Structure formats: structure tokens, C-alpha cells
Amino acid sequence: GAFPADQPFLNGDGPDPLVYRPCDISDATAAPPGTIIVDAGVEVRRVAGSEVSPTDVINDLGRDDVRVILCEGGPNLLGQLCEAGLLNQLFVTFAPKLAGGARTGLLGKTDELGLDLELITGLEDSGFLMLNYHVTNND
């Protein structure tokens, strides 16, 4: 698929956005694994298989000598990172509001992992808590 040119992530300074895509997606223009396609200001990298895992992405970025990765996402992505043993720090922000509805936990639908966390920093501003933890036993 193509990225519409009016997407906000395509504008601004810095490197082009990087998107990973599985090779098994049926596409007449599909390229083999490892192929890099630059289209509409987006660098697309294809990986083998029908899904892209966090391990695929982090291994590929490591080949580019990327050493620090800040991953922002929801509970399912966080759960996948934890299950793969890829999480070494966790930043969590708590807002002074209670919300209900969804029953998805912080780690999505992953099984209990038993990760131990050590608080590195904790900041409070207007009732918001910003916490930074180090994972001490993620292997």
C-alpha cells in the first residue's frame, strides 16, 4: 500500500519515517526480504514471514548501529516487547483521571511475566506522575 502524502508523520525535519512490512502480504510489487523501498518520504523495509515482530525490527535497527530505541505504543506492543525480553526501561505516566471500559492491562493480553522493576526516577506535576523504571530481570 501507499502512504497518503498528507500524513503528518511525513512532514518536518529529520530522517524519513521507517516502516516495516512483512513479505507475505499479497502484493504484485512485493519485494524480497531485506529490500528497502523509499516512497513518498517513507523508507519501507520488508521482513520475511507474515508478521513483523518487535525482534525483527530491533535486530534490523541493530544492523544499522542503532543503540537506543524509544518505543511508544499501547499495551499489546509493550506486552510483545516484554515477552521477547527486549524491554530494559519502562516509562509510565499516570494521569489524575479514572477511565473504564476496556479490560486490557498494561501488557495487553500477555501471560503473567513476573518482571521486577526498580524505580529510577519519579516526577509529579499537577497530579500527573511520570515514572521511569529499570527492568532488573528481563532475559
Residue the block writes with cell 479490560: 103
Residue 69 is assigned to a structural domain of this protein: no
Which cell numbers in the block locate residue 134? 529499570
Query: What is the pTM for the complete model shown?
Result: 0.72
How many folded domains does the chain comprise? 2
Q: Domain span at residue 16? A: 8-63
Closest residue by Cα to residue 86 from 60, 125, 104, 109: 60
**Are the C-beta atoms of residues 104 and 110 closer than 8 Å to each other?**
no
φ, ψ (nearest 5 deg) of residue 20: -105, 140
Distance CA 70, CA 88 (A): 11
Residue 33 lies in a domain: yes
Q: Same domain, yes or no, for 90 and 129? A: yes
Query: In a structure prediction context, what are the per-residue pLDDT tens digits for the chain, which is 139 residues long?
Result: 566 667 777 677 777 788 888 877 555 455 555 555 555 567 788 888 888 899 999 999 999 999 999 888 888 888 899 889 999 999 999 999 887 776 677 777 777 778 899 999 999 999 999 999 999 986 6
Query: Which triple of cell numbers denotes residue 57?
Result: 525490527
